[in-house]
Structure 1
């Protein structure tokens, strides 16, 4: 049967990152969750997402399907269970139903309460909130290395660079000069046509995806993923940048997840540890309040199309929505709603049409079109997040 990755409750759990994409389109490790499943399942995988996203991402409509939570990362043990599933069965992981075999019509009209239960007792990486992405990034980089296939070459040396260890994986078109790669702490993956400028120091586990650039003298600690066509510099630790975003200058980014089409201005710094070493609270869209999850380290969670001005200081456990523009002296609020404009001196609403102009210009610099579907998705987000701006 075909696999379809559904959002379910995970959509709200993973806001603001899931405002603009199905949950399975989030990147953790080298690949997005959907890309992982296609490599493990060895065929195309569909999605089943919210109606406002479905026009762009196209909900699957095969006759019979295995509906699988888009927040679950694949394992060989889970693949074995899914491969033998029959219509009318569901897989539970603890109290959570993570998969069920059904037609779309039966699922939407009758539900799955009467389905036969299969208890899965193996280990799984399930993305439960935005911070769990950076927490699971080390494991997922290791797992993704195992399904790279023949496209990446494992090397122990690379031109005039210093390589420690033997876990450097290089795709075609990589450019690197006078860099230090330490793979004794974990694998380092350099994607197709990626580039590392002089003096960069990289400590694994680390993934640099297709077309991404590491600027001169960057210091990057694992477990970090830089998504496709990003440009990064300064100091980065245990963070994920989804794609097409820039952190091109000095400044610290730690224990953070940044969406697509974001820009962190020069000397933007994130605090990822409280001075009292206590648990960090961060905004939850589910409870609409600040919650603690037992984390001592958490920096910035930022939705797509958001920006910071130069010298911006982001507090520990900050959450920034979609299409926000943050700037000014002092610490801005820890929760900055989508389409906000300002910082510590106060927030106003960012004009939606102006935000479209910014998005079109930024995407155009990467030769990506800002489509009517993109406008529709962002318009929906503008509407549903208005309550947070009042």
Structure 2
């Protein structure tokens, strides 16, 4: 089965996270969405239909027989079963929203339609954290079915059904309080929950991620590979290789890859008047009203903030930004901005490359030519 995860015109809906990746590569629950498709359809070849500047790193593999999939759709067993029964020229819709089309080229106008219900389709970037509990629980049930967890150390206190916690080989969890009554807890290979942590599910920790000493997690929260998190977090998704290693609160937030939040960074996630928030839109290039009450920070890849940084409700930070200084910075910080409440200057591209190389080198990874081109495109088009 050749599956193409199609951005479907939503590239800017999920920015700044999607400035550096296709919609189909976003993380929520236990996986990125392409990993989730790999779980449901292990023999599939998966690629992306995305923006031209991303296509060298994320190329589309188009064959005579393809399954074009709305990349903002979260797969389920029911959907996969219906997909496998599609004939060429047929499509699956949920209401007016297309989900899957089978054919050589995407052609929905003349497609014979089959309807499906109860498929999660993301419409806005904040849906990633709003729907994280639902998706994480479904991922956990599907992934752990028929598998056996590593034993949980007796030094821990477990509240709830033991079947709702799963530890992979090499996972380390000691002297922590783990509550699975509101959602499952998954601890990936060689991941660690350090002593004194208090976790209320749902929580998913990918391999080599860590909760630092005495971390408080209110769930539903997802940590990508090699993320380190401390302090207090509530309903946050970290893509991968990012750190919030110290005290400070982060809630209802989205953090990209290769980000670092300095010690005692705090974000507001609720306005003092308890009203609906306004947030920067990359589609309109303005701060627009939303229908959301809780929203913290959305931070693009390779961005950083200094110690004691304070973020206002619904702050949006682009790619390769560096935020520091006293007082609250603006609610929208463009890509490659360097500064804080006193103003910003442009972060030069060669210096941004140097910082990225230094951070990635600690994980024995390199900044590829394709990634340099992507960052260069962002610097030219999203740094103002």
TM band (smaller chain): over 0.9
The alpha-carbon deviation at position 80 of structure 1 amounts to 2.5
Q: What SS class does the counterpart of residue 357 from structure 1 fall into? A: helix
**Structure 1 residues without counterparts, runs of 5 or longer:** none
Rounded to whole Å, the distance in 2 between the matches of 1:152 and 1:375 is: 40
Change (3 A) 1:150 1:112: closer
The alpha-carbon deviation at position 29 of structure 1 amounts to 0.2
> Which residue is 1:144 aligned to?
139
Rounded to whole Å, the distance in 2 between the matches of 1:376 and 1:218 is: 37
Work out whether 1:266 is the aligned partner of 2:263.
Answer: yes
Rounded to whole Å, the distance in 1 between the matches of 2:267 and 2:122 is: 22
Q: What SS class does the counterpart of residue 130 from structure 1 fall into? A: coil
Give me the CA root mean square deviation: 1.6
The alpha-carbon deviation at position 295 of structure 1 amounts to 1.1
Residue by residue over 1:211-266, the C-alpha shift from the partner in whole angstroms, topping out at 9 and shown as x without a partner, is 00111111111101111101110000011001100000100000001000000011
CA contact (8 A) 2:275 2:293 kept: yes
Rounded to whole Å, the distance in 2 between the matches of 1:128 and 1:146 is: 24
Residue by residue over 1:60-87, the C-alpha shift from the partner in whole angstroms, topping out at 9 and shown as x without a partner, is 1222101001110012222232111122
- Give matches, 1:1-390, under 5 Å: 1-44=1-44, 45-104=46-105, 107=106, 111-120=107-116, 122-149=117-144, 153-154=148-149, 157-165=152-160, 166=162, 167-386=164-383, 389=384
The alpha-carbon deviation at position 117 of structure 1 amounts to 2.5
Change (3 A) 1:228 1:151: farther
Rounded to whole Å, the distance in 2 between the matches of 1:372 and 1:347 is: 28
Rounded to whole Å, the distance in 2 between the matches of 1:291 and 1:87 is: 41
Q: What SS class does the counterpart of residue 98 from structure 1 fall into? A: strand
**Structure 2 residues without counterparts, runs of 5 or longer:** none
TM-score of the pair, normalised by structure 2: 0.95
Q: How many residues align?
A: 381
The alpha-carbon deviation at position 289 of structure 1 amounts to 1.8
The alpha-carbon deviation at position 156 of structure 1 amounts to 7.6
CA contact (8 A) 2:150 2:168 kept: no
Residue by residue over 1:87-131, the C-alpha shift from the partner in whole angstroms, topping out at 9 and shown as x without a partner, is 212222222222211214xx4xxx4322222233x1121122221
CA contact (8 A) 2:190 2:208 kept: yes
The alpha-carbon deviation at position 320 of structure 1 amounts to 0.4
CA contact (8 A) 2:151 2:167 kept: no
CA contact (8 A) 2:226 2:242 kept: yes
Residue by residue over 1:1-31, the C-alpha shift from the partner in whole angstroms, topping out at 9 and shown as x without a partner, is 4221111212121111011111111111001
Rounded to whole Å, the distance in 2 between the matches of 1:152 and 1:135 is: 28
The alpha-carbon deviation at position 150 of structure 1 amounts to 6.8
Residue by residue over 1:329-364, the C-alpha shift from the partner in whole angstroms, topping out at 9 and shown as x without a partner, is 111110111111111111211111100000000000
Change (3 A) 1:372 1:155: closer
With 263-272 and 9-18 compared, the bigger mean Cα shift is at: 9-18
CA contact (8 A) 2:68 2:100 kept: yes
Rounded to whole Å, the distance in 1 between the matches of 2:148 and 2:343 is: 51
CA contact (8 A) 1:152 1:169 kept: no
Q: What SS class does the counterpart of residue 166 from structure 2 fall into? A: strand
TM-score of the pair, normalised by structure 1: 0.94
CA contact (8 A) 1:152 1:170 kept: no
Rounded to whole Å, the distance in 2 between the matches of 1:160 and 1:153 is: 20
Rounded to whole Å, the distance in 1 between the matches of 2:309 and 2:363 is: 25
